[in-house]
Amino acid sequence: MSESDLKKLAKQYQDSDQTAFCVVDFDQGKVVKREVDQYQKAIIDSKISTDESQHEIQTDGTFKRQGNHFKQKFGTGANELQPEYGRYRLIWGEICPWSHRAAIVRKLLGLEDAISIGKVYPIRGKEGWSFKLDIDEIDPVLEIHYLGEAYVAADPDYDGRATIPALVDITTGKVVNNDYHTLTNQFEVAFKPFQKADAPDLYPENLRTEIDDLNVILFNEVNNAVYQAGFAQSQAAYEKAYDKLFKRLDWLEARLAHQRYLFGEQLTDSDVRLYVTLARFDAAYYPVFHTNRNRLIDFPNLWRYARDLYQQPAFRDTTNFDSIKKGYQATHAGNPNHLVSKGPDTRIWDEPVQEVKHV
């Protein structure tokens, strides 16, 4: 088939509403049509990016995470949204540490009825996060196939990844908050009227400044540092992130030597933020992101601490090691055959936890 013939064939599909790509098989001399539905087309035609490489890898090889676009605050003040029972839906994924935080806090505080929840498929596709886990691959409440649809509904010109967590207004179908930095704090404070009677105070007023300060450290030197190492495009960028990460893990190991939680005996928002990275460390970050100086189980205090948290229902019930392995190894590992390792054996997370020796 000549080049002109191929162009004629391709022209047949050029204006089709159902075509995303025109694939040419030169061995057979055929143009293969790839059909997409209107929902895929909405994502393809938008400005949404579906992986980190498009905007977040810098010229020096470092990874700079995109900012959060939707930061609507909840409360009774000016320009704040009134928290309403049943109005908002939390979209999260078992692979994602940023959204895992919100899922844990929602359960710890007993907000399951006040804030409904939807879960995305752990492997991010070319359209971004999808609802393949649901019947007909549609979120049953929002009635969308892809999370990006809620982003486009909120801002047709949104230019970035459609990330989780995303808090969506059920009445409009629009994302109102994707700010993982503060979303758990909103649940802890603004949604207090809907919390269960015995909900823990994860963000006590007398510790808020200290919690906020520690959370900044955890984000920059632990939570995001693993990604800076994993997405680095230069040896220097990788080693800088690697060294920063393990220096802070050593510091945390020492901090937890004689106390149960990061702030003594009180479970706080900071513990949730550290846990979600630790839960993914040996199964994902160590092998996939090459953060391999030590495994989590090589840190006695951090390992005890992580298991102590895991054995509490809100942490255990939202932690799916199979999804974590599948998501990271199939999405980030340059793994075209989507092979998933059998190990590590996660049954060790159920081993008894020794009490902390106080001094």
| Residue where the block lists tokens 């298991």 | 307
Per-residue pLDDT, 36: 53
Per-residue pLDDT, 21: 43
161 is in an annotated binding site: yes
Per-residue pLDDT, 161: 82
Catalytic residue numbers? 96, 227
Q: Which residues pair with 74 in a beta bridge?
A: 81
Start-end ranges of CATH 1.20.1050.10 in the chain?
205-350
Fold of 205-350: Glutathione S-transferase Yfyf (Class Pi); Chain A, domain 2 (1.20.1050)
Per-residue pLDDT, 78: 87
Start-end ranges of CATH 3.40.30.10 in the chain?
44-199
- The tens digit of pLDDT for each residue in 108-117 reads 999 999 999 9
Mean pLDDT value of segment 29-44: 53
CATH number (3.10.20.10, 3.40.50.10790, 1.10.3720.10, 3.40.30.10) of 44-199 reads 3.40.30.10
Cis peptide before 140 (omega within 30 of 0): no
pLDDT greater than 90 at residue 317: yes
- The tens digit of pLDDT for each residue in 226-261 reads 999 999 999 999 999 999 999 999 999 999 999 999
162 is in an annotated binding site: yes
List all residues 6 or more positions away from 9 whose beta carbon is below 8 Å from its beta carbon.
1, 30, 31
Q: Which band of pLDDT confidence, cut at 50, 70 and 90, is reported for residue 53?
A: low
Mean pLDDT value of segment 284-307: 98
Is 21:10 a contact under the CB 8 Å cutoff?
A: no
pLDDT greater than 90 at residue 2: no
Per-residue pLDDT, 70: 76
Per-residue pLDDT, 206: 98
pLDDT greater than 70 at residue 39: no
More reliable by pLDDT, 152 or 187: 187
Share above pLDDT 70 across residues of the chain, in percent, rounded to a whole number: 81
List all residues 6 or more positions away from 60 whose beta carbon is below 8 Å from its beta carbon.
234, 237
Q: Which band of pLDDT confidence, cut at 50, 70 and 90, is reported for residue 66?
A: low
Per-residue pLDDT, 296: 99
90: helix, strand or coil? strand
306 is in an annotated binding site: no
Name the helix (H) or strand (E) containing 41: helix 38-45
CA-wise closest residue to 98 among 235, 215, 5: 215
Average pLDDT value for the chain = 87
Is 119:94 a contact under the CB 8 Å cutoff?
A: yes
